[in-house]
Structure 1
Amino acid sequence: MELRPYQEEARKAVEAEWSEKGQKRTLLVLPTGTGKTIVFAKIIEDQVKKGERVLVLAHRNELLEQASDKLLKATKIPTALERAEHTSLGSFAPVTVGSVQTLQREKRLAKFHPGYFNTIVIDEAHHAISDGYQRVLDHFNQAKVLGVTATPDRGDTQNLGKVFDSLAYEYQLTDAIKDGYLSSIKAMTIPLNIDINGVKQSAGDFAVGQLGDALDPYLEQIADEMVKQCQNRKTVVFLPLIKTSRKFTRLLNERGLTAAEVNGQSDNREQILAEFEDGKYQVLCNSMLLTEGWDCPSVDCVVVLRPTKVRALYAQMVGRGTRLAPGKKELLLLDFLWNTERHDLCHPASLIAKDQEVIDKMTEKITEASEAVDIQEAEQEAKQDIVKQREEALAEQLKALRRRKRKLVDPLQFEMSINALDLQDYQPSFGWEMTPPSEKQMKALDKFGIDSQEIGNAGLASKMLGRLIKRKEMGLATPKQIRLLEQRGFQKVGLWKFEEASNMISRIAANHWQIPHGIIPRTYQPA
């Protein structure tokens, strides 16, 4: 099976962390629908070819079955099962798929020598911070570890930084959409104010029992709104409780939408899922059953009626509709005016933006719009607004930086010039990121024209170097070109090509370092 370009890059990046950089525990971040199981199957294949024994660890049977099936189809490698009464001990299979609930038990772990597995792959790695996973990892403490997850939020990454040593590779949802591997997403805010202020927290998220009670008074109005928006769409609805899901299904059917409901107790679950996929039902309601391990590419509308502050969970729910399918134009994501004092509630903006300021601005734009809004366009507009606000707030400081006669460019000036909010808001998560920049990093930054003395840690140095290398590959203006032209009043030089900046600098130099006649820097745009 031939990997897509980003999948091959991910494979190489993970193996480089282990073999070249000496990072034993590394993370791979791939959005739902971009083939994370295929990627780690190929990584496992590489380890098996070296004679290694591999453990795939997950918390749900569906994930274990999916991993086993994909490994066999993609690599022809058979697997053994470590779950309940099944054991992999004595099996000739080089790969074990294991349930963390089973393996975490002291008696079960004691049966395995600590060096039994050379490599461990954790599917849905945002769960790896739990005690059960930690007991397994502590037992097999010499093994290389790969954690695979969909886009985690900053809080998740900070926590995962206590378990993993590095982030080997991250493929952004926006890149997957732009590259044509996932469906574009349009978000629409339904003007229905749902009060969840009284809902308490449990295990770091909203308590599902109280969510069901808080949601109940609004179900009829929500059903009415869905009739308006979902008539010609294949829709999946996520709800907090089975009883809420069943009630909502009945309300939709009463209004003429053909709806079905599935839950963990459904005897005919497989039949209902198959019938929904075949088009018998327009809407499929569930109480958080379909967040992982279920795919129906033709889904083109997702309704999240289970508000959450866990970004990984939100991404899993929306991910049920991001896959491509014949005739599918985009995914419509319906959001509501959730009335809550919590500022970390996930919204459509949370799928692609990590900075809370950008998320808030995007949410504001989507809420104010009278129709569905492309979330990538909303992000660009939000970033431009924030950059403008920051430029105004830092105007005097930036002026001073541009006037300073220094050989190297201040990082803040460069970040503002290229609208790099991710660099401005960067916070280190892993231990190595918090250390001072290495001598090699500092020399490389200086070579690119960035003042390495102003870079506070190795993580930011690495991120900055990655951006500089990418800009060079894309043929964009260098930091020194940007500073020189901005000093003379040119705008948005960070978006110019290297040749465009070079040509203008040559014209200015040939004119005794004066602006050529007819050129107005503030309004000038390269041809």
Structure 2
Amino acid sequence: MIILRPYQEALLNGARQGFRERKRAILLQLATGGGKTVSGSKMIEGSSAKGLVCWWLAHRRELITQTSKTFAAMGIQHGIIAGGHSSDPHKRVQIGSVQTVARRLDCLPPPDLIIFDECHHLGASQWQKIFDAFPDAKIVGLTATPWRLDGKGLGNWFQEMVNGPTVAELIAEGSLSRYRLFAPTQIDTAAIKIQAGDFKKDDLASVMDKPSITGDAVQHYRKLCNGKRAVAFAVNVEHSQHIAAQFNANSIPAEHVDGSMHSDARDAAIARFIAGETLVLTNCELFGEGFDVPAIEAVILLRPTKSLSLHLQQVGRALRPAPGKSEAIILDHAGNSMVHGLPDDDREWSLADREKRKKDEKASVTIKTCMECFHVYRPAPKCPQCGQQPASQGREIEQRDGELAEVDVAAKRKEQRREVGNARTREDLERIARERGYKPGWVNAIMNARQGGGLAGRRYA
């Protein structure tokens, strides 16, 4: 019998209250690793017991397989509507592939409840087709990151969002793992073109798919998490294959997997990874969502992205606690943490549309690297890790190519507060709010606090 944690019960109670208020679509936000699948499954269990037809929809085979295992563990009888599965449309509960269900809408009994897993993808044509086809069905969306790259708010589909605890709160209570983050001092993406809101893959691959960069990844894996199971995120399939090859060439068992592989071959590679026979599993856009293996002890980021959602989903793969796992290691060779912040930053999610950044507007992140211990920290008189003073107080320390250094979380948070304190205009505060994903009301809270001398908005800084 699966017993929900208090915050999971609170999420479901929030959804029930929304439905009592005649709202059609409710979004449940819960950090990666917080137990969205178990929470939603409890809702399916209760609704189907009342005789309701319930659908659980996902867009990846891994998500469908994961949910089916959870349903089976809970004793929920269900069918699967997806390629490679024999459908049983008479089952009250169905787990469906978005792609397959969208093609079979006319052949299926109408649902009373639809749960969209990873619902930040809503708006894509097949998702939208299903959403529009059953106006009388109640809708529940599940996501860790209600954030679309195009800036369109999920309020276009959901009337209410119920938030779970933050990553920091989940770490504090032991529901997620503590982490150590190592990151490069600088990643030059200035010459990379933008396509559909993110870096153009061909241009990105030409920058990242180099033996020197992958070699650095191998060296730092050995230095910082040797022998641990790590998932590496690549730009494209060829890049992922090259990463695996270079790890193998250095006697570190690695395998590449991608969506074009036969499912049996992919499952076998994952099984070897779980068993510890393979230590590094490389992929491209396959394991960002739905790869829930608590034994993952490290992630290796080799794909710069402008997407906050993609970054947090990838980092979150390593944050699930497991027996014998004291902490997660994040090796950020892509520099994404310098753009999107720490995994447990206090982010304020909103259903509203986001204001787009101006083309020439860039995130301002200043970082020093200690040349003694290679610890990364926000500007300070001396290194918080070893106490070493910079050789020159008047200039930034020169970057060493390929070196990763640990991010000092306390120092970074102190610098974030300092940045807010140094912001003199509303425009400065609005820029900070956009970069950190804060709610629009944060700027007003800070301005009001300054005018009245109060502390309103302090929790955001």
TM-score of the superposed pair, with normalisation by structure 1? 0.66
Q: Is the 8 A contact 1:234 1:301 kept in 2?
A: yes
Larger radius of gyration: 1
Bigger fraction of residues in helix: 1
Q: In structure 1, what is the equivalent of residue 82 of structure 2? A: 83
| 1:332-386, Cα deviation, whole Å (9 max, x unpaired) | 2122365xxxx99854536635489xx95777475657742354x3563244323
| 1:383-425, Cα deviation, whole Å (9 max, x unpaired) | 43234335x769xxxxxxxxxxxxxxxxx9xxxxxxx999995
| 1:24-70, Cα deviation, whole Å (9 max, x unpaired) | 11101111111101100111122223321111111122212222221
* Unmatched segments (≥5 aa) in structure 2: 349-356, 369-375, 386-404
Q: Which of 103, 107, 112 is the equivalent residue of 1:111?
A: 107
Q: Which of 214, 218, 222 is the equivalent residue of 1:219?
A: 214
1:252 aligns with 2:252: no
AA aligned to 1:94 is: R
Task: Determine the C-alpha separation between the residues in 1 that align with 2:26 and 2:412.
Answer: 29
The verdict on how the C-alpha distance between 1:34 and 1:56 changes in structure 2, with shifts beyond 3 A counting, is same
| 1:64-92, Cα deviation, whole Å (9 max, x unpaired) | 22222212322x22112223485443x1x
Q: Which of 152, 158, 163 is the equivalent residue of 2:157?
A: 163
Task: Determine the C-alpha separation between the residues in 2 that align with 1:380 and 1:345.
Answer: 13
Task: Determine the C-alpha separation between the residues in 1 that align with 2:39 and 2:179.
Answer: 24
Q: In structure 2, what is the equivalent of residue 349 of structure 1? A: 342
Which one is further off, 170-179 or 140-149? 170-179
1:288 aligns with 2:285: yes
Q: Is the 8 A contact 1:199 1:211 kept in 2?
A: yes
Q: Is the 8 A contact 1:314 1:346 kept in 2?
A: no
Task: Determine the C-alpha separation between the residues in 2 that align with 1:203 and 1:213.
Answer: 18
SS state at 1:104 partner: helix
The count of residues paired between Structure 1 and Structure 2 equals 401
Task: Determine the C-alpha separation between the residues in 2 that align with 1:139 and 1:424.
Answer: 32
Which one is further off, 280-289 or 126-135? 280-289
Task: Determine the C-alpha separation between the residues in 2 that align with 1:424 and 1:235.
Answer: 28
Aligned-residue CA RMSD (Å): 3.8
Q: In structure 2, what is the equivalent of residue 61 of structure 1? A: 61
How far 1:117 sits from its partner (Å)? 1.1
1:372 aligns with 2:431: no
Q: Which of 134, 140, 161 is the equivalent residue of 1:146?
A: 140
Q: Is the 8 A contact 1:57 1:100 kept in 2?
A: yes
AA aligned to 1:205 is: D
AA aligned to 2:69 is: D
The verdict on how the C-alpha distance between 1:112 and 1:258 changes in structure 2, with shifts beyond 3 A counting, is closer
1:18-417 mapped onto 2 (5 Å cutoff): 18-19=19-20, 21-74=21-74, 76-84=75-83, 86-89=86-89, 91=90, 93-105=91-103, 108-112=104-108, 116-153=110-147, 158-191=152-185, 193-217=186-210, 218-264=213-259, 265=261, 268-336=265-333, 338=335, 346-349=339-342, 352-354=345-347, 364=367, 366=376, 368=378, 371-373=405-407, 375=409, 377-378=410-411, 380-390=413-423
Q: Is the 8 A contact 1:129 1:159 kept in 2?
A: no
| 1:461-512, Cα deviation, whole Å (9 max, x unpaired) | xxx9xxxxxxxxxxxxxx9xx99xx97xxx97999xxxxxxxxxxxxxxxxx
SS state at 1:174 partner: helix
Task: Determine the C-alpha separation between the residues in 2 that align with 1:364 and 1:14.
Answer: 42
The verdict on how the C-alpha distance between 1:228 and 1:386 changes in structure 2, with shifts beyond 3 A counting, is same
TM-score of the superposed pair, with normalisation by structure 2? 0.75
AA aligned to 2:111 is: F
The verdict on how the C-alpha distance between 1:189 and 1:207 changes in structure 2, with shifts beyond 3 A counting, is same
Task: Determine the C-alpha separation between the residues in 1 that align with 2:365 and 2:46.
Answer: 42
Q: Is the 8 A contact 1:205 1:308 kept in 2?
A: yes
AA aligned to 2:406 is: A
* Unmatched segments (≥5 aa) in structure 1: 395-411, 413-419, 429-454, 465-478, 496-527
Task: Determine the C-alpha separation between the residues in 2 that align with 1:119 and 1:125.
Answer: 15
How far 1:255 sits from its partner (Å)? 3.1
| 1:415-459, Cα deviation, whole Å (9 max, x unpaired) | xxxxx999995238xxxxxxxxxxxxxxxxxxxxxxxxxx99xxx
SS state at 1:161 partner: helix
Identity, in percent, stands at 30
The verdict on how the C-alpha distance between 1:211 and 1:22 changes in structure 2, with shifts beyond 3 A counting, is same
The verdict on how the C-alpha distance between 1:331 and 1:426 changes in structure 2, with shifts beyond 3 A counting, is same
How far 1:155 sits from its partner (Å)? 5.6
Q: In structure 2, what is the equivalent of residue 504 of structure 1? A: none
Q: Is the 8 A contact 1:154 1:354 kept in 2?
A: no
Task: Determine the C-alpha separation between the residues in 2 that align with 1:174 and 1:157.
Answer: 25
The verdict on how the C-alpha distance between 1:350 and 1:361 changes in structure 2, with shifts beyond 3 A counting, is farther
Q: Is the 8 A contact 1:311 1:351 kept in 2?
A: no
The verdict on how the C-alpha distance between 1:230 and 1:96 changes in structure 2, with shifts beyond 3 A counting, is same
AA aligned to 2:236 is: L
Task: Determine the C-alpha separation between the residues in 1 that align with 2:183 and 2:99.
Answer: 39
1:389-468 mapped onto 2 (5 Å cutoff): 389-390=422-423, 425-427=438-440
The verdict on how the C-alpha distance between 1:110 and 1:261 changes in structure 2, with shifts beyond 3 A counting, is closer
The verdict on how the C-alpha distance between 1:231 and 1:190 changes in structure 2, with shifts beyond 3 A counting, is farther
How far 1:261 sits from its partner (Å)? 2.6
Which one is further off, 300-309 or 34-43? 300-309
SS state at 1:181 partner: coil
Task: Determine the C-alpha separation between the residues in 1 that align with 2:457 and 2:309.
Answer: 33
AA aligned to 2:102 is: Q
How far 1:313 sits from its partner (Å)? 1.8
